[in-house]
Amino acid sequence: MAAPPVARPGAAERVQKVLAALGLASRREAEQWIRAGRLTVNGKPAALGMRVVAQDQIKLDGRLIRRRAASADVPVFLCHRSPGEALLPPRTGHADHSTGASLAARLPRRSGRRFISVSPLPLVDGGLELLTADGAIASRLQRAMRGMEMEFSLRVRGELNAEQEQSIRAGKLDDGSVVRVAQLEPSGGEGSNRWYRLIAVGASGNEIRQIFERAAVTLVRVLRTRVGPLSLPRALPRSHWRELSAEELASLTGSPGSAR
């Protein structure tokens, strides 16, 4: 049996973590590349658990992987996704994007080869989405968002009755866990189309749908309009995006632009 990889001195990291941070693959995908013999480090086959430093040469299928010096160089995009619009292209198992009608496929290629969505909404829904090619930033944003207020604009079929409102405010999920619903109020509409504004802490789109289904409410549309301090700009058209500023990123992650 081969000896386990030896950690080098300095800022050594597992090779699969490095690839994930570069936005080339998830850690699981990187492990599959290692098992398939597609990755080499300094000319030798990579091994699971191997640690690398900045000076090491990592190659995928014989092609050198260029490593960025700092996460701050990798933008985070605020996207206004239309309901039903694909956020990411189909997964191919390779480092490069496949072409496809998705928001990520139209983002500047200088930003990375493989984008990661942070707490994405179900395909049928839309609104504010966050994308980045940096795995470390994506992980940090994902953790931070679990404690943030999320604001949604919801279209339901018919007006909610008192019992349904009480059930929604309780925020109970099928597994017994509870989402803290901070606010629920009507925001317009008439007849069978009614709009409501809902604020819940750390809630995913699937959890919002589950809460309404448990209240026997037909939820027609879910639009996320705010994540913590970050609101969807009114001037940003659907299917468009903009880069977050360093200050906006810091307000979400609690650090000045870097996720390291």
pLDDT tier at 110, thresholds 50, 70, 90 = low
Average pLDDT over residues 73-101: 73
pLDDT for residue 26: 74
13-64 is classed CATH 3.10.290.10: yes
What is the SS3 assignment for 257? coil
Average pLDDT over residues 191-214: 95
58 close to 40: Cβ distance less than 8 angstroms: yes
pLDDT tier at 169, thresholds 50, 70, 90 = very high
Rounded to a whole number of angstroms, the distance between the first and last alpha carbons of the chain is 35
pLDDT for residue 65: 82
pLDDT for residue 256: 43
All CATH 3.30.70.580 domain ranges of the chain, comma separated, are 71-146+236-253
All CATH 3.30.2350.10 domain ranges of the chain, comma separated, are 149-227
* Least confident among 19-23, 60-64, 203-207: 19-23
Q: At what angle do helices 205-214 and 162-170 cross, to 10 degrees?
A: 140
> Looking at the domain covering 149-227, what would its CATH class be?
alpha beta
Average pLDDT over residues 113-124: 89
Most confident of 7-21, 94-108, 197-211: 197-211
pTM above 0.75, yes or no: no
71-146+236-253 is classed CATH 2.40.37.10: no
Continuous segment of H or E residues that includes residue 215: none
| Gyration radius from the chain CA atoms | 21
Higher pLDDT, 73 or 55: 55
Q: Which residue has the tokens 């050198």?
A: 64
187 close to 197: Cβ distance less than 8 angstroms: yes
Q: Which residue has the tokens 């279209």?
A: 155
Instruction: Evaluate if residue 17 carries a pLDDT over 70.
Output: yes
Instruction: Evaluate if residue 166 carries a pLDDT over 50.
Output: yes
pLDDT tier at 63, thresholds 50, 70, 90 = confident
Instruction: Evaluate if residue 208 carries a pLDDT over 50.
Output: yes
DSSP secondary structure letter of residue 107 = S
How distant is the alpha carbon of residue 124 from its chain centre? Answer: 16
Residue burial 164-200, b: 16+ Cβ < 10 Å; e: rest: bbebbbebbeeeeeebebeebeeeeeeeeebbbebbb
Tokens of 59: 């190659």
166 close to 185: Cβ distance less than 8 angstroms: no
pLDDT for residue 91: 61
* Least confident among 95-99, 145-149, 159-163, 231-235: 95-99
Question: Mean pLDDT over all residues of the chain?
Answer: 85
All CATH 3.10.290.10 domain ranges of the chain, comma separated, are 13-64
pLDDT tier at 206, thresholds 50, 70, 90 = very high
Instruction: Evaluate if residue 201 carries a pLDDT over 80.
Output: yes
Q: To the nearest whole percent, how much of the chain has pLDDT over 90?
A: 56
Continuous segment of H or E residues that includes residue 211: helix 205-214
pLDDT tier at 139, thresholds 50, 70, 90 = confident
